[in-house]
Amino acid sequence: MPITTSDNDIKERLSIAFATAVAARAGCMLVEWPKDKQSLDVTLRPISGSSEIVELQLKATSQDVVSEAGVGVELPIKNYNDLRSEDAAAPRYLVALVLPDDATLWLAQDAEQLLLKRCAYWLDLRGMPPTINRKTISVTIPTSNIFDVQSLLGMFEIAEGMRRQRPESRDE
Amino acid sequence: MSEEWSDAVLAALSPRDIASYLKMRGWRHVADHGRVIAIFAHADQTEELRLPVTAKSPDFARRMHELVINLANSTETNPREILTDFTLAPFDVVRVRSPDADDYGSVRLEDGLDLHYEARNLVIAAANAAASPEPRKSWRGRRFDEVTDYRANVRLGQTEHGSFVLTVLSPWNYAPAGQSFSFSETFGRRVTKTLSSALAATEQAIRQSVSDGMAPFLEAVPLGVSANLCQALANLAREGGGADVSVSWSPSGPPQAPVTISLRREDAGTLTEAAKELGAQEPDVGVLIEGKITQIAEAAEQFSGDAVLEAPLGNLVRKIAVTFSPSERELVWQAGHDKSWVKIVGDLAREGRRLRLLNPRDISIIEPTEEE
């Protein structure tokens, strides 16, 4: 029986593979939560050292969404509201993987390299305003926000900055 | 994550009770993270634990999941045990175990219903004793407001394996609005403490009753023993072929040994007798009785106040002795002379085989009417 996985499912798996590869290079592991449990898909945590965590909502598209204005992403309202919430316990980001239109170009591999074409972009939606839209909302990610090892390390630095030590005397 | 738990279970966990749980086990709140994470550290552990402090967080369930796993790893405990502790953190747990179950841990439906009913009676008896400003031998009719509110907050937990075990979850930190500051403990905790002291006292009274009759049960009334409690235990022992009843304390408090009483079917008779004895000695407070005044032989001016009220109680017309105060004597004498029906509120007590109405008050004549 042949494999009949849909292109959308393949794109989702490639977005997880992309995030896993960037996280691994940064010294982090990726925990994938059951689908649709909440609007976020994965948690990244250092394999050793810092106890901070960063969460990513992963999206993947092969449409032509990159323009001079940035990368346009259509988000379900639930995802948008969860991402913009300031009550989230862990900092989290939208990460959109943009793939070529031609599915045969998504992944290339030879003896020299494993090549995942195009790139992923990140956006911090925390504190964004509420919307009156009912189903989806368009957000635009600056093309300078490339999701790479450096940007991921920056996310962990921000997470580290959220920590406030308590004075000894305040503890019971 | 290797463990799969429902978000609903994780989302229902109480951060406050889990914080108490952690502190009781040596974890200290050392830092905060953002607005919704409290970081705990342990002197003996290198790891940190992150407790989400508000269920409003969109990732509350996920963070709780991580907390359970991380604590289990840190303490080398099964994560399911940690989750059970967290789930029960808001409650003291009353367990009733029936040994009369089959190999599957099932009991006959009728017996199971009785077990649940009597477990409820047991907890209500303890709640009445905890609420009452003075010890009482029996609880009939009226109920304290805090008991009514507390009952609404008591929950039935999942049955557990091991014969047939039903669990009653008593919210240990339940405090009714306006709880008196004279109590250092919440009402919920007073109920379970009263129940545990009453169970221990009952077990001792059963042993002592072999030589001392019912007196040990009467002496145990200040510890929460009552006719209702004894009757509930008697029914549990009879219907369940014996019963184990235990009270274990919320995991959010300091670790304490549970209190357990083991009853045999043979104890049911003793407990039923104790229930009758205790019930007979406690007046029914604030009973409204309607009947006729009789047995006033004296003239009005010599009437001493001693009379008998003939009133229907249940299916019988009973004679109830009453002593009226001087201010009521004229009205009562006239009612007796005219054979009028009267309404009287009082506290109905038993004196051997006789009944006496104590503290008669709110006396009025029932005027006959010819209308339907």
Average confidence score pLDDT of chain B: 88
**Any B CB within 8 A of A45 CB:** no
Q: Provide the whole-model pTM.
A: 0.69
Question: Under 8 Å CB-to-CB from A10, ≥6 apart: which residues?
Answer: A103, A106
- The neighbouring-strand residues paired with A57 are A94
Q: To the nearest whole angstrom, how far is the Cα of A96 from the nearest Cα of chain B?
A: 20
Q: pLDDT-derived band of residue A35, with 50, 70 and 90 as boundaries?
A: low
| Chain B interface, Cβ < 8 Å to A | 1, 4, 7, 23, 28-37, 39, 47-48, 50, 52, 54, 56-63, 66
Q: Which residues of A touch B52 (CB under 8 A)?
A: 89
DSSP letter at B182 equals T
Per-range mean pLDDT, top range of A9-18, B99-108, B284-293: A9-18
| B79 contacts B60 by C-beta, under 8 angstroms | no
Q: pLDDT-derived band of residue A38, with 50, 70 and 90 as boundaries?
A: very low
Does position B282 have pLDDT exceeding 60, yes or no?
yes
Question: Which residue is it, tokens 């889990």?
Answer: B18
Interface test with B, best of A48, A87, A160 (most B CBs within 10 A): A87
In terms of pLDDT, which residue wins out, B105 or B326? Answer: B326
Between chains, do B59 and A164 touch, taking CB under 8 Å as contact?
no
| B103 contacts B92 by C-beta, under 8 angstroms | no
Between chains, do B63 and A90 touch, taking CB under 8 Å as contact?
yes
DSSP code string of B41-87: EETT-S-EEEEE--TTSTTHHHHHHHHHHHHHHHHT--HHHHHHHHH
Nearest by Cα to B287 from B364, B366, B361? B361
Nearest by Cα to B247 from B238, B237, B256? B256
In terms of pLDDT, which residue wins out, B218 or B241? Answer: B218
Task: Kindly report the backbone phi and psi dihedral angles of residue A18, in degrees, each rounded to the nearest multiple of 5, phi listed first.
Answer: -60, -50
- What chain A residue is nearest to B26 in terms of C-alpha separation? A172
Taking only the tens place, the pLDDT of each residue in A75-130 is 999 899 989 998 888 898 999 999 999 999 999 999 999 999 899 999 999 999 99
Average pLDDT rounded to a whole number, residues B169-173: 90
Instruction: Report long-range pairs for B138-145 (Cβ below 8 Å, ≥24 apart).
Output: B138/B226, B138/B227, B138/B228, B138/B278, B138/B279, B138/B281, B138/B282, B139/B226, B139/B227, B139/B228, B140/B282, B140/B284, B141/B284, B141/B285, B141/B286, B141/B287, B142/B285, B142/B286, B145/B176
Q: Which residues of A touch B61 (CB under 8 A)?
A: 37-38
DSSP letter at B199 equals H
Three-class SS state of B36 = coil
Taking only the tens place, the pLDDT of each residue in B86-111 is 988 889 999 999 887 787 778 888 88
Task: Kindly report the backbone phi and psi dihedral angles of residue B357, in degrees, each rounded to the nearest multiple of 5, phi listed first.
Answer: -100, 115
**Any B CB within 8 A of A55 CB:** yes
Quote the ipTM score: 0.83
Three-class SS state of B151 = helix
Q: To the nearest whole angstrom, how far is the Cα of B126 from the nearest Cα of chain A?
A: 33
Task: Report the 10 Å Cβ neighbour count for A119.
Answer: 16
**Token digits for A64?**
């032509």
Between chains, do B29 and A86 touch, taking CB under 8 Å as contact?
no
Length of chain A equals 172
In this structure, what is the dihedral angle of CA atoms B49, B53, B59, B61, given to the nearest 10 degrees? 80
Between chains, do B39 and A163 touch, taking CB under 8 Å as contact?
yes
Between chains, do B34 and A55 touch, taking CB under 8 Å as contact?
no
Residue B251 CA to residue B18 CA, distance in Å, equals: 9
Question: Under 8 Å CB-to-CB from A117, ≥6 apart: which residues?
Answer: A99, A100, A105, A106, A107, A108
Average pLDDT rounded to a whole number, residues B310-324: 89
